[in-house]
A and B are shown apart, each in its own frame.
Chain A
Amino acid sequence: MTNLHNAAEEEQLAHFMQRIERGDKIEADDWMPEEYRLTLIRLISMHGISEIMGALPEKEWVPKAPSLNRKLGIMAKVQDEMGHGQLLLRVTEDLLLPYGKNRGDIMQDLFNGNLKFHNVFHMETKTWADAGIIGWLVDGAAIITQTNMLNASYGPYARALQRICAEEVFHAQHGESIIMSLAEGTEEQKAMIQESLDRWWEALLMFFGPASKETTGSSKQDLTIKYKIRSKTNEEFRQLFFDKYVPRILSLGLRIPDPTIRFDEESKLWSYKQPDWNEFKKIIKNGGPRSHARLNLRRSSYENNAWVRDALSVKVT
């Protein structure tokens, strides 16, 4: 019996991998190996919750935005991010169904540290220039990784990303517009961007993840490539980021806070100073400068509003 069972399962798996290789889209109700499901849950829940936790550092600057237009721009932007979070958590909820888990469990996983969010959203924001850097470079980095997954093998994720990436392009333009105004402004404004870039640079490099699992002890990039969820490695993403943004940063008269960075004509690769990957590990384990504060903010508001969710479960006639 066991052998027969195994043979059937192997056949199912082989069929599944053929579909992946053919470029078929896998849908929520299709059979999928547990490894695939768990890889997706891990990736998409982390992406979704990062959108939601990412609203918090930017939200700090929503009321403070320095003009009516900037206020409107950043309000729209942060609203979009919450919308992305909502879309992605819905995709995750479908994947969680066989485990009997729901959104409440996703939130609990966030609060108890089992669900991580992107390193950049653990960082402190200090000035208005940070709102610009987040839009321009953090969202710019996200566009690089997310557009690579537009053809992801999992249909619901690929479709959610179509919309998300289109909106992220606006966000990057919004961030770039803030940065351009500061770059063309007073000496204090220019200094504000440089100071912000200096603080964010290392976090931006970390955003793409370690080059290999040897760096930090774990990396899921091999699995996501095997299942054609994405096609490029973390390091390839980081190189693309340099290709795109190093010239732009320099053209604004800003300095890259890494004196060693250079483009090697022969290998066509950038060499650069590695960020502190031990620090990265600490940050994503909720040991970053604002990890606890932001988690507490999210947790306290979740608990504070528990009565509302109870009230919503009462059917009104």
Chain B
Amino acid sequence: MNENETVMSQEYKDAITSLLFQLADDDFLYAYRGSEWLGLAPHIEEDVASSSISQDSMGHAAMFYKLLEDLGIGNADELAHSRPALDRKNSVLMERVNGEGYYMEIPLYDWAYQVVRSYFYTQAKKIKIDSLCESSYSPLADTAVKVKMELYYHRLHWETWFKQLLSSTDVAKKKMDEAIKKVMDDFYDVFSYGNEKLLIEKSRLISSEEILRDKWKASIEQVFTALQMEVPKISDKPTKNGRNGEHTHDLEEAIRTLSEVYKFDPIATW
């Protein structure tokens, strides 16, 4: 189906809406966590590079929210800023804090966690975006093509960090191993469509969860083999599934910060 067809079944529209919220909320939170690192990255060159990635990711979130706006779901800014945590469909992995502390005080952020989360998520996003380029909903397929161009560099960037840190000092390897475990504990819902699984999959908007999960594993296998490591297992017993609105306190805090000024006067022009 495409936007030119005048009749869109309610079921199809519900499937698109659910998937778009998952994509938009993922990137919105991912970009936010990245932006908390601004000015605090391990060196200045990295600050420039990773803030560019956060900016691109916020741009992707904005494009996905705009697709929801075009579907008549609501104003993009309102969707980004005013939905409570319960209504959010991002993966739990995206909402997790970068480490201890608030970004304005003395945060003790964990660069290993940033690298692992970013590399695994970006690789997963690439697998999804490749599939979305063939989506039955053509506005989404068109957006996916644009996102794909930038994603190439993001993936390359994080893969370089991932390999470097796991091939260096014992301290770095230990921190990376811990980060991999932490990220994998939350990885299940990255490839989950939640309660909308059947609806989304039968709408041919994107490949099935299982196909994407297998592709993800295959795509990182080479890197793991080169590092003489095994591809980590995705937990199949998640404690929470963000796609169903199950979230942690971290998300509530994040939304409070992200919408602080917006909520000062949601009607005003800013």
Chain A interface (Cβ < 8 Å from any Cβ of B): 52, 55-56, 59-72, 75-76, 78-79, 82-83, 85-86, 89, 128, 178, 181-182, 184-186, 188-189, 293, 296-298, 300-301, 304-305, 307-312, 314, 316
Contact = CB atoms under 8 A, between A and B. Distances in A.
B78 to A, nearest CB: 10
14 contacts: A56-B39, A63-B103, A64-B258, A66-B270, A68-B61, A86-B48, A181-B269, A185-B270, A296-B106, A297-B40, A298-B40, A308-B165, A311-B168, A312-B168
Considering residues A63, A86, A305, which has the most beta carbons from chain B within 10 angstroms of its beta carbon? A63
Nearest to A178: B270
Contacts of B163: 316
B261 interface: yes
Interface stretch (B124-132, B144-152, B169-177, B180-188): B169-177
Given A68-B62, A309-B43, A316-B164, A79 B265 contact: no
B270 A307 contact: no
Nearest to B51: A79
A311 B42 CA distance: 11
A79 B52 contact: yes
Interface of B is mostly: helix
A162 B260 CA distance: 37
Contacts of B40: 297-298, 301, 305
B36 interface: yes
Nearest to B261: A66
B109 A301 contact: yes
A64 B39 contact: no
Nearest to A304: B108
A59 B44 CA distance: 15
Given A75-B54, A75-B58, A308 B48 contact: no
B211 interface: no
A100 to B, nearest CB: 20
B47 A82 contact: yes
Given A128-B264, A311-B164, 11 more contacts: A56-B39, A59-B38, A66-B261, A70-B270, A72-B55, A82-B39, A83-B48, A188-B264, A300-B107, A301-B39, A312-B43
Contact of B168 (A65, A68, A128, A314): A314
Contact of B51 (A60, A64, A78, A311): A78
A196 to B, nearest CB: 13
A186 B262 contact: no
A301 B54 CA distance: 19
A307 B164 contact: no
B172 A185 contact: no
A63 B257 contact: yes
Contact of B44 (A76, A89, A307): A89
Contact of B65 (A68, A76, A298): A68
Contacts of B234: none
B109 A66 contact: no
Interface string B198-220: 00000000000000000000000
A306 B258 CA distance: 30
